[in-house]
Structure 1
Amino acid sequence: MKNSLVFIIMILFLGNACTHKKEAASYKYDDFKTINPDFKLNSKAVIDGKLLEDFRCEEKVDGVENSIPLSWSKVPKGANSLAIVMYHYPKKDNKSEINSYVLLWGINPSVSEIPYKMANNPDWYMGPNKDGTAISYTSPCSRGPGEHEYTIALFALSETPNYFLNPILWMLI
């Protein structure tokens, strides 16, 4: 519940800070639309929409899991910072519960990639892991029956979110 509330607050905040036309503010937090079709997010870990096995259920090394590689291009003009979120609904038909695998913000728009294992970087902020027990990346590892869908969204923001989003405060919420 704690993760869901924090994640929804973050998405609502990001939705209001995105650089796009006013009508985009009416989008639901889980209904991401391509406002700028040239602004694209890619990953060598995802082929034909599927997360490769080598990047799922990664072992922790010194308490840290390896983040997937991400890259992007054509950041919209006017962006002063970027944010990335990867999430999954564990119950397909129920969006009241959400698992967040990575939450990054305050990324300089001149940055065009986060290499494999490098999400935890002092150059930007990181939110809590899926369980809310640490500020870290969580490797996707859903084990239940059926196919599991993960969403990775990249946001171009007109400003860097303020001090409220400091990772230390996340642990207190």
Structure 2
Amino acid sequence: MIKNPQVFLLVGACSFILSACDVSNQNSLLQSNENSFVLTSSVMNDGGYLPITYTCDGESITPPFSWNGAPQGTKYYVVMMYHNALDGVHSYWNMYNIEASNSYIESDQVLGEMGTNNLNDLNEYSSPCSQGPGYKNYTYTIYALSEAVILSNQSKVDRATLLAAIKNITLSSAEMNVIPFRLIS
């Protein structure tokens, strides 16, 4: 028979708390491993401004990016740029089958194959415009893939098509979110 129930409860509570700490350490380790794949740019920061140069108000070219920390087994990359608008997702840039030997993209450089943007339905970068109604948040995402994207003779390779094609071959992803620098009228 237990002579002091408070001691029993205290030991039980300590055991529970210590076991929870072990789980949180495991979760932290998983998160730190997942967050080791990072996308950066020499011209902007995550949460910062998209420079005018990379919009329709400037030179309408793609910004430069670099990445590191891709998981082991990465053979290809996909890069996408989009924003969620009131009327749906606007996709500006879809580049895929970028070989894993690459760790950066120069400004206005094409690596791999170009997919279709949904603004003019062409296989090219379509620069966003900083003007217009509402708040805009642009997301650049890089996906590390275990194999190449294989599509069956499709001339239109839009964001939805690419996301479906990479669903089972994505090892990890990293993203950067920016807002456009607004010109004052």
TM-score, length basis structure 1: 0.63
Q: Is the CA contact (8 Å cut-off) linking 1:126 and 1:135 kept in structure 2?
A: yes
Measured in 2, the distance between the counterparts of 1:34 and 1:105 equals 26
Shift of 1:144: 2.1
1:114 correspondence with 2:105 = yes
Unaligned runs of 5+ in 2: 1-30, 162-185
Distance of 1:73 and 1:158 partners within structure 2 = 16
Helix, strand or coil: the match of 2:136?
A: coil
How far apart in 2 are the matches of 1:161 and 1:35? Answer: 25
Q: 1:25-44, aligned counterparts within 5 Å?
A: 36-44=34-42
Where in structure 2 are the equivalents of 1:107-146 lying within 5 Å?
107-118=98-109, 120-121=110-111, 124-146=112-134
* Structure 1 residue ranges, 4+ long, deviating more than 6 angstroms after superposition: none
2:72 to 70, 77, 81: 77
- Which structure has the greater CA radius of gyration? 2
Higher strand share: 2
Number of residues of Structure 1 aligned to a counterpart in Structure 2? 128
Distance in 2 (CA, whole Å) between partners of 1:34 and 1:146 is 35
2:50, 2:149 → 1: CA distance? 29
- Structure 2 partner of 1:148: 136
Return the letter of the residue paired with 2:39: L
- Give the conservation status (yes or no) of the 8 Å contact 1:39–1:76: yes
Over the matched positions of the two proteins, sequence identity in percent amounts to: 30
Report if the CA contact (8 A) 1:125-1:167 is conserved: no
Partner Cα separation in structure 2 for residue 86 and residue 152 of structure 1: 4
> Is the CA contact 2:92–2:119 (under 8 Å) kept in the aligned structure 1?
no
Equivalent-residue separation in structure 2 for 1:169 and 1:149 (angstroms) = 25
Equivalent position SS for 1:87:
strand
Structure 2 residue identity aligned to 1:47:
N
Q: 1:170 to 1:37 in 2, by over 3 A?
A: closer
Q: Does 2:90 align with 1:99? A: yes
CA RMSD of aligned residues (A): 2.7
Are 2:149 and 1:161 equivalent residues in the alignment? Answer: yes
Distance in 2, Cα, partners of 1:34 & 1:58: 38
Structure 1: any 5+ residue segments left out of the alignment?
1-32
